[in-house]
Amino acid sequence: ILGLWVIAEGAIYQFFADHLNQFFRKKSELDYDFINIGIDFGGNKSAHAFVATGIKEDYSKLTALMSEKHKATGITPDELYNLIFLFIQKVRLKYGEVAAIYVDSAEQTLKNGIKARIDIPVKDSIKNEIIDRIRATTSLMSQGRFFMTEDCESLKDAFMGAVYNPKSLTKDERLDDGTSDIDTLDAFEYLSLIHI
C-alpha cells in the first residue's frame, strides 16, 4: 500500500494504511495543549515501548509526537530508567514539557523506580478492553482527529502490522503472538485513550 509493506489480511488499522500521508504533520503544523508519555514494559518475548502524545485540552485532537521501542532481554532496571530518561529529554527538547507518564500498571516496582528518578507525575495506565481501544483509535483516525510526526516510526509500523487473530471466533481479538508490535500499541493506548 503506497509502496509500503503492510499486512492486508485482517488488518486492524486499514484506514490508516490506506490514507497514511494524511496523518503526518510537520512540527510547525502541530496543535496540542499538553504532552503525556505512555510506557509499556517488556519481558522475555517483548520490548519496552515509549510513546509521547500531544493532546488538546478538549480532546479534539491527538498527535503522536515520538515513539521508541527497545529490546527488553538483558536490560537491567537502571538501563531501562536511563532509556526512559533519555526519551523524556528528547521529547522535552523537541516538543515541550511532559505533563504525566502512564505506565503499565502490572509493573509497580518499575513504576516506583521511575517515580523516584524524575520530576513528572507517574500514573497507572487504565487498561480498557482492547477492542474498545481499537475502536477509539480507528474513530479518531477516520474523524480526522489523529495525527503523528515523523518521529513515530515504531508507532507507524505497529499500526501497519496490527491484525485481528485469525483463530478467534470473533474479529474482536488482536493477534498477540510476537509477529506484530503490540508493545508500542499498548504504550500509545495507555496514555492516549483514557479520556476519549
Phi, psi of 66 (to 5 degrees): -160, 145
Q: Is the pTM of this model over 0.85?
A: yes
Q: Report pLDDT for 132.
A: 82
**CA of 32: how far to CAs of 79, 112, 178, in Å?**
31, 28, 33
Residue 185 in this model has a pLDDT that exceeds 80:
yes
End-to-end CA distance of the chain: 29
**CB count in 10 Å sphere of residue 89:** 11
CA quadruple 43, 196, 101, 38: dihedral sign: positive
Q: What angle do CA 74, 76, 80 make, to 5 degrees?
A: 105
Q: Rounded mean pLDDT of 157-182?
A: 71
175: left (phi over 0), alpha (psi -120 to 50) or beta: beta
- The answer, yes or no, to whether residue 8 has pLDDT greater than 90, is no
User: Is pLDDT above 50 for 19?
Assistant: yes
